[in-house]
Amino acid sequence: MKYYDKLIFELSKEGRKGYTLPENRLKNYSLTALPENLKRKEEAELPEVSEFDVVRHYTNISNKNFGVDTGFYPLGSCTMKYNPKINEEICSLPSFTGLHPLQPDSTTQGALEVYYNLSHALAEISGLAEFTLNPYAGAHGELTGLMVMRQYHMKRGDLKRTKVIVPDSAHGTNPASAAVCGLQIVEVKSKPNGRIDVEDLKPLLDDTIAGIMMTNPNTLGLFETEILEIAKLVHECGGLLYYDGANLNPLLGKCRPGDMGFDIMHINLHKTFSTPHGGGGPGDGPVGVAKNLVEYLPNPQVRKAEDGTFYLHRSEDSLGRVSGFVGNFGVLMRAYTYILTLGKEYIKYVGPLATLNANYIKESLKDCYYLPIEGVCKHEFVFDGLLDKSTGVTTLDVAKRLLDYGYHAPTIYFPLLFHQSIMIEPTETESLETLDEFIAIMRKVAKEAIECPDEVKSAPHNTPVRRLDETTAAKHPILRYRDLKAM
Ligand SMILES: *Cc1c(COP(=O)(O)O)cnc(C)c1O
């Protein structure tokens, strides 16, 4: 600990711009400086087990885990594509893993160059001017992007813009981020064809609107064909357009949110750019903005000097900091590797293949699952439960039965537009064989729902645990090994 303190102290003394901690704070860094009342009075009671038992315990748990490397994972909205192993190799290079965030810029030029190049590749892909890679997740990016929106209006002295428009089909994080940002949420309705109702939008647009949050294709997998008209209307009323980039995958190399009129967006690197989702992380949610908003991005921003060196820029107009340093660097390395692997030549195949896969499943199953909106979808689509409603078998039952057959369940009960939503997203990295096997199992479950509904309603039968009381599990989680033993 002492050695570590000294190291931090020495490194920060190097005068790394923006990161030098005041000396009095550094003193507090030492464990000995902990106040007495916070220190343990007696030894912590830790589980006493041999290394071998620990190895077996974790190996057995890992064997029960389900991930994209184990089986098909059609979790709609989450873009569970293959995580290429070369990404892991590159991000594990010791020259990157050995970096300390407090090192002087002169010794981290390579890492800063990766940051700079990745942010510019994302800008080119998205049609926006500049990206920050600092936010740690999609939702964190949403909050950051909305803070940029707020900063823009505040800097112009336009303080009455406190409302943000969110469609009724939006992902739950959209209204949540707006609320965390202190904005009021105004809902805009969808038409029967699943797209935003422009006639419903028009009367909402006045001088209290900060902007609108949208995703395109929307959460039903449908392209918002009136996006140019929507962008025009929102801009005319003085608002900005925020793009939720969770659905960027089908657009790659084909069309760009910036060209549709969006001013701010986030990208989920763990979705479109093949980095792992992990158990809710680590992710990364880069935020891109149009030219007139660049100075509001969070600090520090990575810039390139005329002599070709990279440095951390701190903008006076910035909304401030949103993360400790400059993003989740290991995740950034993976995404950068993915972009370089595909290159301009191949990245444009991602969207069409993801779209083809989704439409193939949709068309192959719509005679046994209810498709509420006909037509071509993009990378994902939504069924409203089974076609035969007389069986009493719900979407939850279907999802649980799929576990018995070795599949991860699709996203269920989202979007909220339908009562029995089943949202399927196969991604471009699945083979035709995998899609055909999944279609066959989905058909089999639909048949079981008619012939032996109780078998489906009581599923899963072959998983390590049966149907869980999810509410109790979420509200009263057992997190201590001793409580587990008592069970
Ligand atoms: C995944 C997702 C988000 C949130 O992103 P996280 O990285 O999970 O925080 C937001 N909107 C949509 C449509 C999504 O699918």
79 Cα: distance to centroid of ligand 1 (angstroms): 10
| Ligand 1 proximity of 215 Cβ (cutoff 6 Å) | yes
Q: Say what the pLDDT of residue 345 is.
A: 94
Q: Residue 201 CB: number of other CB atoms within 10 A? A: 20
Nearest residue (by CA) to ligand 1, atom 15, is 77
Report the percentage of the chain scoring pLDDT > 70. Answer: 91
The full length of the chain comes to 487
78 Cα: distance to centroid of ligand 1 (angstroms): 7
Nearest residue (by CA) to ligand 1, atom 7, is 138
CA distance linking residue 59 with residue 62, whole number of Å: 5
Of 77, 248, 266, the residue with max ligand 1 atoms within 8 A of its CB, to mutate for a pocket test, comes to 77
| Ligand 1 proximity of 77 Cβ (cutoff 6 Å) | yes
119 Cα: distance to centroid of ligand 1 (angstroms): 20
285 Cα: distance to centroid of ligand 1 (angstroms): 9
The pLDDT tens digits of the residues spanning 84-132 come to 999 999 999 998 999 988 889 999 999 999 999 999 999 999 999 999 9
Tell me the whole-structure pTM to 2 decimals.
0.87
| Ligand 1 proximity of 144 Cβ (cutoff 6 Å) | no
209 Cα: distance to centroid of ligand 1 (angstroms): 23
CA distance linking residue 283 with residue 378, whole number of Å: 24
Considering only CA atoms, which of 217, 222, 215, 275 is closest in space to residue 241? 215
Q: Say what the pLDDT of residue 178 is.
A: 97
| Ligand 1 proximity of 456 Cβ (cutoff 6 Å) | no
Considering only CA atoms, which of 120, 128, 122 is closest in space to residue 240? 128
Relative to the CA of 280, which ligand 1 atom is closest? 8
Relative to the CA of 139, which ligand 1 atom is closest? 9
Considering only CA atoms, which of 221, 206, 123, 115 is closest in space to residue 165? 206
The pLDDT tens digits of the residues spanning 438-480 come to 999 999 999 999 999 999 999 999 998 899 888 998 898 888 7
The dihedral formed by the CA atoms of 201, 204, 205 and 206, expressed in degrees to the nearest 10: 170
291 Cα: distance to centroid of ligand 1 (angstroms): 25
CA distance linking residue 353 with residue 428, whole number of Å: 5
| Ligand 1 proximity of 426 Cβ (cutoff 6 Å) | no
Burial class (CB in 10 A: 0-12, 13-18, 19+), 99: middle
Q: Say what the pLDDT of residue 322 is.
A: 95
Q: Say what the pLDDT of residue 15 is.
A: 45
Of 244, 249, 424, 427, the residue with max ligand 1 atoms within 8 A of its CB, to mutate for a pocket test, comes to 244
Q: Say what the pLDDT of residue 281 is.
A: 61
Contacts of residue 15, defined as CB under 8 A and 6 or more positions apart, other chains included, come to 104
Nearest residue (by CA) to ligand 1, atom 8, is 138
Q: What are phi and psi of 225, to 5 degrees?
A: -70, -15
Per-residue pLDDT of the chain (487 residues; tens, 9 = 90+): 455 556 555 555 544 444 455 555 555 555 566 788 888 888 888 878 899 999 998 999 889 889 999 999 999 999 999 999 999 999 999 989 999 888 899 999 999 999 999 999 999 999 999 999 999 999 999 999 999 999 999 999 999 999 999 999 999 999 999 999 999 999 999 999 999 999 999 999 999 999 999 999 999 999 999 999 999 999 999 999 999 999 999 999 899 999 999 999 999 999 999 999 876 567 899 999 999 999 999 999 999 999 999 999 999 999 999 998 888 999 999 999 999 999 999 999 999 999 999 999 999 999 999 999 999 999 999 999 999 999 999 999 999 999 999 999 999 999 999 999 999 999 999 999 999 999 999 999 999 999 999 999 999 999 988 998 889 988 988 887 666 555 5
Q: Say what the pLDDT of residue 261 is.
A: 98
| Ligand 1 proximity of 283 Cβ (cutoff 6 Å) | yes
**Contact criterion met (CB below 8 Å) for 74 and 438:** yes
| Ligand 1 proximity of 138 Cβ (cutoff 6 Å) | yes
Burial class (CB in 10 A: 0-12, 13-18, 19+), 443: middle
CA distance linking residue 134 with residue 299, whole number of Å: 9
| Ligand 1 proximity of 219 Cβ (cutoff 6 Å) | yes
The dihedral formed by the CA atoms of 106, 111, 114 and 115, expressed in degrees to the nearest 10: -90
139 Cα: distance to centroid of ligand 1 (angstroms): 6
Q: Say what the pLDDT of residue 283 is.
A: 87
> What is the token pair recorded at 402?
């799929």
> What is the token pair recorded at 330?
């290991």
Contacts of residue 95, defined as CB under 8 A and 6 or more positions apart, other chains included, come to 110
| Ligand 1 proximity of 328 Cβ (cutoff 6 Å) | no
CA distance linking residue 12 with residue 59, whole number of Å: 40
391 Cα: distance to centroid of ligand 1 (angstroms): 33
143 Cα: distance to centroid of ligand 1 (angstroms): 12
Considering only CA atoms, which of 137, 162, 266 is closest in space to residue 214? 266
Contacts of residue 118, defined as CB under 8 A and 6 or more positions apart, other chains included, come to 133, 332, 335, 336, 339
CA distance linking residue 400 with residue 422, whole number of Å: 12
Considering only CA atoms, which of 353, 296, 349 is closest in space to residue 148? 296
The pLDDT tens digits of the residues spanning 344-391 come to 999 999 999 999 999 999 999 999 999 999 999 999 999 999 999 999
5 Cα: distance to centroid of ligand 1 (angstroms): 38
Nearest residue (by CA) to ligand 1, atom 2, is 246
| Ligand 1 proximity of 335 Cβ (cutoff 6 Å) | no
Report the largest interatomic distance among the alpha carbons of the chain, rounded to a whole angstrom: 73
- The identity of residue 414, as a single letter, is F
Domains of the chain: 3-38 (no CATH), 101-347 (3.40.640.10), 350-474 (3.90.1150.10)
Relative to the CA of 244, which ligand 1 atom is closest? 11
Which residue pairs, CB below 8 angstroms and at least 24 apart, start in 97-102? 97/330, 99/329, 100/7, 100/11, 101/19, 101/324, 101/325, 101/326, 102/8, 102/11, 102/12, 102/16, 102/19
